[in-house]
Amino acid sequence: MKLLLILIIGFLGSLLINNYGVLSTEICTNGIDQVIYDDQLGYTVSDWSWAKPRNFTNFKPVHSGSYSISFVPKTYEAIYLNLQNPIDPSIISSVSFWVHGNKVGNQKVIVRFTSNKVAVSRDFFLWGDESIILSDPSVSSKALSKNIQAGKWVNAVINCDKLEPGQYDGIQIAASGEDVQEMVFIDDIEVNKRCISTNPYRNLMKPVSCDGHDCIVINVTETSSQMRWFANEIEYQKYTVTMKNTNNAAVEVLEFTGGWFKPRNSSDIWNVAFLEGGYYGLPDNVKVIYPGQEYIFGCVSIKGPVSFKVSYVEYENDKDRLTNSKPIESNSKPPVKTPTVKPTVKPTIKPTIKPTSKPTTKPTTKPTTKTLVSA
């Protein structure tokens, strides 16, 4: 009897999606687990956003009720909602919300989930082929139909099978990139229960098919044609560089260097840490690139085939293997430190200090589980 009820509710749930005239994603839902926002935040939801300005009582447009959320996507700012009732993919099937692109549409917005207050999930995009927006059948171009639309509401649905197992204590709806984009409106953020008996959780995160530095996919794009100018008859261009972690382990140390990169001076690259020998690393505000996440920085160079190369990468698993295979003897006094002695630091302490040695000096001191790529 209970199972029948679940099936009926699930069926009604999928009908509801179909009633909006969009393709069902065929995610079975067993009713609402929690409402994160309808006209206000849910009782167990707190606003931890860093987007400014933002407005949780915007009254036009609304998808339902009296209010929606508005914010201006820019410089990676986000609406960040902390959840006292975390989202557990084993019992939650999907997270759904509605988004409106104001007069312009096509805003570049992503969604991430947090664990212990850190965004750890992959990025869910609101544009392009991988978009979580349910395709709008009234838009003829297939790619554009999955973007945020101008002047109307579209439904974005995150399939929780695309989350690693865990307890996610927050959701971030964030600007992708630095550009100031047109305001977006968000409404009816809902968390749906899973049909546990018919559609149990399966982790759809892609298996690893990369190794070492191959897991860092680098994409250099021209920031925009307006970001191009001549100085002393030399043409300069602003670039956006994306480094995506396609491994299923978090990147904890990343070092890279310019391939074809011709800046005027050191101010022509930002959101990077400056290491010795002209190498760059992850800045303090990034520290870790979780699986599926992108690390983005900007630069100015003489216009050309700008490229960057990863010179060194260290994954979380490397460290686990290292510490698991070498249990620490708690009573032994550390001998005089020499470069050949294994570090006696506990695994919970993350190295906050960047290694000062250049990548070229690493082969002699690095354990074999780490990946070194000669530049």
Ligand X SMILES: *[C@@H]1O[C@H](CO)[C@@H](O)[C@H](O)[C@H]1NC(C)=O
State in angstroms the smallest separation of the CB of 127 from ligand X.
9
Q: Does 58 bind ligand X (CB under 6 A)?
A: yes
Which helix (H) or strand (E) is 257 found in, with range?
A: strand 251-258
Q: Which is nearer to ligand X, 44 or 57 (CB)?
A: 57
Candidates 60, 142, 333, 337: give the one binding ligand X (CB under 6 A). 60
Please give the residues from 260 up to 289 whose contact with ligand X meets the rule CB under 6 A. Answer: 264-265, 267
The residues near 2 (Cβ < 8 Å, ≥ 6 apart) are none
Q: Does 40 bind ligand X (CB under 6 A)?
A: no
Candidates 40, 64, 116, 219: give the one binding ligand X (CB under 6 A). 219
Q: Which is nearer to ligand X, 108 or 152 (CB)?
A: 108
Q: Which is nearer to ligand X, 53 or 207 (CB)?
A: 53
- From 175, 6, 195, select the one nearest 75 (Cα to Cα): 175
State in angstroms the smallest separation of the CB of 221 from ligand X.
4
Q: Does 34 bind ligand X (CB under 6 A)?
A: no
Q: Does 55 bind ligand X (CB under 6 A)?
A: yes
- From 54, 48, 49, select the one nearest 70 (Cα to Cα): 54
CB contact at 8 A, 65 and 38? yes
CB contact at 8 A, 157 and 96? yes
Q: Which is nearer to ligand X, 60 or 142 (CB)?
A: 60
CB contact at 8 A, 294 and 240? no
CB contact at 8 A, 70 and 63? no
CB contact at 8 A, 135 and 22? yes
For residue 193, the tally of other CB atoms under 10 A from its CB is 20
State in angstroms the smallest separation of the CB of 187 from ligand X.
12
State in angstroms the smallest separation of the CB of 229 from ligand X.
11
Q: Does 202 bind ligand X (CB under 6 A)?
A: no
Rounded CA-CA distance 116/3 in Å is 34
Helices vs strands, H then E, count in the chain = 2, 22
Q: Does 221 bind ligand X (CB under 6 A)?
A: yes
Q: Does 66 bind ligand X (CB under 6 A)?
A: no
Residues found near ligand X in the complex (CB under 6 A): 55, 57-60, 219, 221, 264-265, 267
